Amino acid sequence: MVGSNTASEALLAALRCSRENGACAERERAAFLDLASRAEGSELVTLAENHRVAALLHGELAAIETLGDEPRRRLTEARRLGRARNLRVARTAHDLAPILDSVTDGRWVILKGPALASWYEGRSRTYVDLDLLVHRSDFGPVMQALEAAGHPSLTANWAGFLDHGVGEVPLGDFHMVIDLHWHPIALQAQRHQFRWEVAAMIERRVEFDALGTSLPTVDPTDTLLHLCSHTGLAGARRLVWMSDIDVVARSGSVDWDDFVVRAREYRVATLCATVLDRAHRMLDTPIPAGLVEELCPVSGWVGLNRTVARRRSDKRARSGWSSGFLLTRGRDSLPSTMRALVAGAVAGLRERAGRPGLAADGGDIDWHRVDDGADPVADKQAWLDYVASERA
């Protein structure tokens, strides 16, 4: 995300103030307003939009006297649209719950979205899609039931989904997407580097309230594990993801001993260590003393990421917060980390050579791509058979 150092620091300061629900210390608020007064208003709001925190930080940013009418209008619009989307997604989750309960006997959860927003206690954490996770043995019947209920598949590229072992399918719902997952990791190449216990995650589910209805999500410890892994694999590039981690980590609901055990079982300990260390340094996220060192099995990896992040931070006016390439490649052994680094470098070279990314227009898993001679019906069934198989 491109932005000047002053705008970046002002946005971080706004986020630190926002989590106090209006009780931000006077000194911290004064420091934020001083930074904000020296940032260009349109740039600051653009940065907030890019990091998906414009609605979340509406109150803090709207308090800047020098903001200007046009940036202020964009903030108000972001909050309005965000609230409308949240209501639509929550309503869809409410409507789908009986279908999911019937087909899976209650074995399903919501990831992120309305479940994550419930952690913010009245603050406007907006989201776009509805992510559902079911056991792979239930996936085919659930997909069929949702399609029958008026939520068609949005991809025709079943051959690409099979070639890359995609762990989810996008389903339509008017102005939003329902992402139906059978695994938290989207691609087979990455999925085989980890060991997520999906059945155990679903079995440990807890309830949260959405529009007066109790809906299931993963427990707080699995929530933080999923957030750290998702954020790490995405390079920790968006401030909203770091905010999510901060909110859950400081809630007092995470069992940190279980967190370490599960992180090792899922083979995401290195990713979690690096992301939590970054959240602690960026947002003062509270984590137990020694946790980062206990989690990370690759000696020197967290320190290397700190060094790279510091050097990148000096160039924020050109490149925003650290690009996160190194962070995304952290695995729970040195050989697997090196393999991930090589694979990432190869992918980067392919893109530099003009080859589209996997999900980009024309890419291998572009939803709209259908190669000549493809049989969508047969290819769809082949992908569903793969999902149900032991090799998935």
Encode burial over 296-312: b for 16+ CB neighbours within 10 A, e otherwise.
Answer: bbbeebbeebeebbeeb
* CA atoms within 13 Å, Cβ hemisphere of 294: 13
Tell me: the pLDDT tens digits for 358-375?
Answer: 887 788 888 888 777 788
**Domains of the chain, earliest start first:** 1-67 (no CATH), 91-217+356-392 (3.30.460), 219-355 (no CATH)
Q: What is the pLDDT of residue 353?
A: 84
* Encoded amino acid at 129, one letter: D
Q: For the chain, first and last CA: distance in Å?
A: 35
* Encoded amino acid at 388, one letter: A
- The bridge status of strand 168-173 relative to strand 176-181 is antiparallel
Strand partners, 110: 132, 217
Q: Which long-range contacts (CB under 8 A, 24 or more apart) does 63-68 make?
A: 63/33, 64/33, 64/36, 64/37, 65/37, 66/36, 66/37, 66/41, 67/36, 67/41, 68/41, 68/42
Which residue, among 237, 240, 235, has the nearest Cα to 14 in the 3D structure? Answer: 240
> How far does CA 142 lie from the centroid of its chain?
23
Instruction: Say which residues have a Cβ less than 8 Å from residue 117's Cβ, sequence separation at least 6.
Output: 86, 125, 126, 127
Only one residue has tokens 């980067």, namely 348
The answer to whether the CB of 226 falls within 8 A of the CB of 111 is yes
Instruction: Say which residues have a Cβ less than 8 Å from residue 9's Cβ, sequence separation at least 6.
Output: 35
Q: What is the DSSP string of 289-319?
A: TTHHHHH--STTHHHHHHHHHHHHHTTHHHH
The Cα 5–Cα 279 span in angstroms is 18
Reading across the β-sheet that carries 213-217, which strands appear in turn?
168-173, 176-181, 130-134, 108-111, 213-217, 206-210
Q: What is the pLDDT of residue 255?
A: 98
Question: Is residue 347 helix, strand or coil?
Answer: helix
The answer to whether the CB of 159 falls within 8 A of the CB of 374 is yes
Q: What is the pLDDT of residue 142?
A: 98
Q: Give whole-number Cα distances, 172 to 73, 149, 155, in Å.
A: 30, 11, 10
Only one residue has tokens 């580097």, namely 193
Tell me: the pLDDT tens digits for 106-159?
Answer: 999 999 999 999 999 878 898 889 999 999 999 999 999 999 999 999 999 999
- The bridge status of strand 176-181 relative to strand 206-210 is unpaired
The answer to whether the CB of 70 falls within 8 A of the CB of 78 is no
Only one residue has tokens 């082949």, namely 382
Q: Give φ, ψ of 249 to 5 degrees.
A: -65, -35
Q: Give whole-number Cα distances, 269 to 185, 192, 255, 296, 310, in Å.
A: 15, 15, 15, 6, 22
Which residue, among 316, 323, 296, has the nearest Cα to 236 in the 3D structure? Answer: 323
Q: What is the pLDDT of residue 298?
A: 83
Q: What is the pLDDT of residue 319?
A: 38
The Cα 157–Cα 170 span in angstroms is 11
Q: What is the pLDDT of residue 357?
A: 78
Q: What is the pLDDT of residue 22?
A: 54
Ranges of the chain whose pLDDT falls below 70: 1-3, 20-24, 311-323
